[in-house]
Amino acid sequence: MFKGAIVAIVTPFKNGEVDEQALRELIEFQIESGTDGIVPCGTTGESATLSHAEHDRVIEITIDAVKKRVPVIAGTGSNSTAEAMRLTRHAHEAGADGALVVAPYYNRPSQEGLYQHYKTLAESVPMPIVPYNIPSRTGVNILPETVARLAKIDNIVGVKEASGSLKQMNEVIQLCDSTFSVLSGDDFFTLPLLTLGGKGVISVISNVAPADMAGLVDAFEAGDLKKARELHDRMVSLIDALFLETNPVPVKAALAMMGKMSADVRLPLCRMSEGNLERLRQAMRHYRLIA
């Protein structure tokens, strides 16, 4: 079962190429800070603009750098079931601990189509699979009843929920048994979801403040609700700043401010506007992540 504060890690670029050294250093920063897992090649990892060779390589680098210290849940989704199968099979063969598979985007399949997509992947690749529900990007919502059907498949072990609806998340938790990991796909909902029975978060803010998000989950699990609430309240303004523009543009800018990597993103994403960049810089200073 995947749980805790899991980072949706960025893919650093340098001169148009994947910056392998920066990625390895980011992974060390995450593990030293108490992160419970690493997700490469998700939305935050700009999977949409990675070539297949780059996608495979980023997963391989991550697995090699992590060295089994925490789980690696590789992003392997596609709007083609055959392509998702190839990516998932590669992740399995490379040694990933699980696969995060976004709902097929643009096609807008029915609930039965979604079920068959994930069922086919689960039956074809013998590794733990976590569907990723983010209707704002995919145009389709994996409904709680569909998640409950998928949860009955042995190697579908959880869901990353970014529907923006706590009611929907609560319905998923109620329909699935306690071994099924409902993970927040939105940093802000981490604490509310934990109180409902969720198991953690796949986090963007963990790229820059991993110890605080890990500390929030650890405090909640230890029964220290006061500390968990304090950390939640502390992170809210920075979470807002990290979504002033499309993710991962702001979080890459934030990491560049911290001197950890270039702020480069790939078109059609582009660097932040000067106004939003200054607002982000102020939030980073207030958080004491930069001088």
Q: Which residues are catalytic?
A: 132, 160
Q: Which of 40, 49, 42 minimizes the C-alpha distance to 97?
A: 40
Give Cβ neighbours of residue 132 (< 8 Å, ≥ 6 apart).
42, 75, 77, 100, 101, 102, 103, 159, 160, 162, 185
22-36 residues labelled b (16+ CB within 10 A) or e (exposed): bbbebbebbbebbbb
DSSP three-state, residue 14: strand
Cβ atoms of 133 and 162 closer than 8 Å: yes
Please state at what angle helix 111-124 crosses helix 144-151, rounded to 10 degrees. Answer: 20
Please state at what angle helix 274-286 crosses helix 249-257, rounded to 10 degrees. Answer: 60
Say how many Å lie between the first and final Cα of the chain, rounded: 39
Backbone angles phi, psi at 75, to 5 degrees: -70, 120
Cα–Cα distance, 229 to 65 (Å, whole number) = 33
Cβ atoms of 130 and 98 closer than 8 Å: yes
Cα–Cα distance, 17 to 194 (Å, whole number) = 38
Cβ atoms of 226 and 189 closer than 8 Å: no
